[in-house]
Amino acid sequence: MEVKHLAYSPRLAETSINLPASKSESNRALIINALAGQESTISNLSEARDTQTMTRLLQSKDEELDVIDAGTTMRFLAAYFAVGDDKKVLTGTQRMQERPIDILVKALNKIGARITYENNPGFPPIKIKPFKRQLKNEIKVRGDQSSQFISALLMIAPVLPEGLTVKIKGPLGSKPYIQMTLDMMSVFGIDYDWTGELITVAHQDYQPYPFKVESDWSGASYWYSLVALAESANIKLLGLRQKSIQGDVAIVSIMNQLGVMSTFEEDGVVLGKIPHRDHFEYDFTDCPDLAQTVAVTCAAKHITCHMTGLESLRIKETDRIKALKRELKKLGAKFKEIEPGVWEVKSKFDAGANEISIDTYDDHRMAMAFAPLATMQSLTIQNPSVVVKSYPNFWNDLAKAGISQS
């Protein structure tokens, strides 16, 4: 198996990093532009494999389309093709075929789509037949699974003859991602109303708009961790906005408590070291993709951490709860559910005691969340190429910051 050795590199070189463009914004912009007839110019699109896959499949004339391991692409395209004119089959990797999609499929079929399962009910691959007529203009969707189901439905709502009202049942996870979807729809001319548990979008036309994608706050989180763990660091991250529509901008306030100060400038944000807390609590319901990075940071800095809102981690690229538990154990850290829904990170990490080899479970965020440990000791990352899913240039950027690799 491919491995990458990261040498002990305690001090980061002063540098500026061109972060990848936001995958979340890019994929939404591509779907919205496709629904609008491809009349807009989308600039600074993400180079992540997920976005490249979305671009390729939107242009493909093939009936069977392989999303590989891109969950966002699977869910957004399921809704997009449900209101299209052509028969399509969406499939993916073995892990993708284990990730549930039943909530979205049931909702689309109630609206008027005709989607069936090729193998296991509730899971890809799925067969989509052309939409005939709208059967319902209001549906109920659980809010505690993937917010991408709701975003997928909202983006097709304006093109439905009767529009759509989505009623969110129960607690809502990743709310900022739904707000991001609605904000981007607004940029392209769509009006909506979000009152309580109801989101209503009338039938209307998307309007062309020259949209520039912001840099990725999820990708920025690994640099915050690097600065938090390094002996010395002065890193500037380019292309980020303080007032961002991305939910993972929450990393600014989180890391302010874990040892990193953010100074915003016109072209990005400068990260510098400050004292950290010894205890930290946070609800990750709205930003679950930050959980791995924060868990590793707290374990390395011996910060006792209580984390809630992690339920969706079990249905990501891997079961991230299980993966974190296994890999943090290698650091001498425990990741334990101390009461229902409350996870504690408690650590006896002894930097440099033994070289650590990190398994990544085909999960890009596992690789990048643990890489900052190189500022404290040497380590090995298994299957490092998984970062291509969201941050293809990650290892090159680490080298630019002074982390030696082989």
**Which residue's entry shows tokens 């990725």?**
216
How far is the C-alpha of 385 from the C-alpha of 363, rounded, in Å?
10
Asked whether the domain spanning 23-212 has the same topology as the one spanning 3-20+215-400, the reply is yes
Residue-wise pLDDT for 15-28, tens only, equals 999 999 999 999 99
Residue 316: pLDDT over 90:
no
Cα 255 from chain centroid (whole Å): 18
In the structure, what pLDDT confidence band is assigned to residue 130 with cuts at 50, 70 and 90?
confident
pLDDT value of position 312 = 85
**Which residue's entry shows tokens 């609008």?**
36
Residue-wise pLDDT for 330-379, tens only, equals 999 999 999 999 999 999 999 987 889 999 999 999 999 999 999 999 99
HSE at residue 18, side-chain half, CA atoms within 13 A, is: 6
SS3 190: coil
Q: Which of 250, 257, 263, 296 is nearest to 276 (CA)?
A: 257
In the structure, what pLDDT confidence band is assigned to residue 303 with cuts at 50, 70 and 90?
very high
Average pLDDT in the 83-104 region? 95
Domain boundaries, the chain: 3-20+215-400, 23-212
Report the b/e string of 126-135 with b at 16+ CB within 10 A.
bbbeebeebe
Q: Which of 153, 90, 155, 154 is nearest to 123 (CA)?
A: 90
Catalytic residue among 66, 216, 286, 289: 289
pLDDT value of position 355 = 84
Give CA torsion, residues 95, 100, 102, 104, to 10 deg.
Answer: -90
Q: How many of the other CB atoms lie within 10 Å of CB of 186?
A: 11
Domain 3-20+215-400, CATH among 3.65.10.10, 3.40.50.300, 3.50.50.60, 3.40.630.10: 3.65.10.10
Average pLDDT, the chain: 95
pLDDT value of position 173 = 83
Check if the beta carbon of residue 273 is closer than 8 Å to that of residue 260: yes
How far is the C-alpha of 90 from the C-alpha of 88, rounded, in Å?
6
Residue-wise pLDDT for 143-164, tens only, equals 887 789 999 999 999 999 999 9
Check if the beta carbon of residue 249 is closer than 8 Å to that of residue 217: yes
Distant-in-sequence, close-in-space partners of 48: CB < 8 Å, separation ≥ 6: 20, 23, 26, 388, 389, 390, 391, 392
Catalytic site residue 102? no
32 vs 314: which has the higher pLDDT: 32
> Which percentage of the chain shows pLDDT scores above 90?
92
SS3 224: helix
If residue 138 lies in a helix (H) or strand (E), which one and from where to where? strand 138-142
Residue 315: pLDDT over 80:
no
23-212 is classed in which CATH architecture?
A: Alpha-beta prism (3.65)
Beta strands in 13-86 (DSSP E): 15-18, 42-43, 64-66
How far is the C-alpha of 153 from the C-alpha of 107, rounded, in Å?
8
